[in-house]
Structure 1
Amino acid sequence: MRPDDWHLTHDLDAFLQRAGDFLTARPATHTVLLTVLDGLRRGGVHAYSEEDPLFGVLETDGQVTAALLRTPPYWINLTPLTGEQSDALAARLASAGHRLPGVSAERDTAAAFVDAWQRHTGAEASLRWRQRLYRLGESTGPEPAPEGAPRIAGPADRAQVARWFEEFGASIGERGHQDSGAWADSRIAQGGVILWETPDGTPVSLAAVTPEVAGQVRVTTVYTPAHLRGRGYAGAATAEAGRTARASGAAEVLLFTDLANPTSNGLYQRIGYRPVTDFAVYGFA
Structure 2
Amino acid sequence: MVTDWTYSFSEDAFLEAVSRKQAENIAAASVYLWEDRGKPSMARKARPTENGIAVNFVFTPKHERNKGYASSCVAAFSRKLLDEGFAFCCLYTDADNPTSNKIHTAIGYRPLDDAIAYVFDEYEKS
Are the aligned partners of 1:194 and 1:240 in contact in 2 as well (CA < 8 Å)?
no
Give the aligned partner of residue 212 of structure 1. Answer: 48
Deviation of the 1:244 alpha carbon: 0.6
Deviation of the 1:195 alpha carbon: 2.0
1:184 partnered with 2:27: yes
1:238 partnered with 2:74: yes
1:170 partnered with 2:11: yes
Are the aligned partners of 1:208 and 1:220 in contact in 2 as well (CA < 8 Å)?
yes
SS at match of 1:180: helix
Give the aligned partner of residue 99 of structure 2. Answer: 263
Corresponding pairs, count: 119
Counterpart of 1:277 (choices 104, 113, 119) is 113
Structure 2 residue runs without a partner (length 5+): 122-126
Deviation of the 1:209 alpha carbon: 1.3
**Please, which moves more after superposition, 167-176 or 228-237?**
167-176
Q: Let me know the Cα RMSD of the aligned residues.
A: 1.7
Are the aligned partners of 1:195 and 1:203 in contact in 2 as well (CA < 8 Å)?
no
Which amino acid counterpart does residue 29 of structure 2 have in structure 1?
S
Give the aligned partner of residue 195 of structure 1. Answer: 33
What is the TM-score normalised by the length of structure 2?
0.85
Are the aligned partners of 2:54 and 2:89 in contact in 1 as well (CA < 8 Å)?
yes
4+ runs deviating over 3 angstroms: none
Give the aligned partner of residue 58 of structure 2. Answer: 222
Higher relative contact order, chain-length normalized (CA < 8 Å, sep 6+): 1
Matches of 1:220 and 1:252 in 2, distance apart?
14
Alignment of 1:150-161 (within 5 A): 160-161=1-2
Matches of 2:39 and 2:23 in 1, distance apart?
18
Give the aligned partner of residue 247 of structure 1. Answer: 83
Matches of 1:176 and 1:221 in 2, distance apart?
13
Q: Among the aligned pairs, what percent are the same residue?
A: 33
Deviation of the 1:198 alpha carbon: 3.1
Matches of 2:43 and 2:103 in 1, distance apart?
14
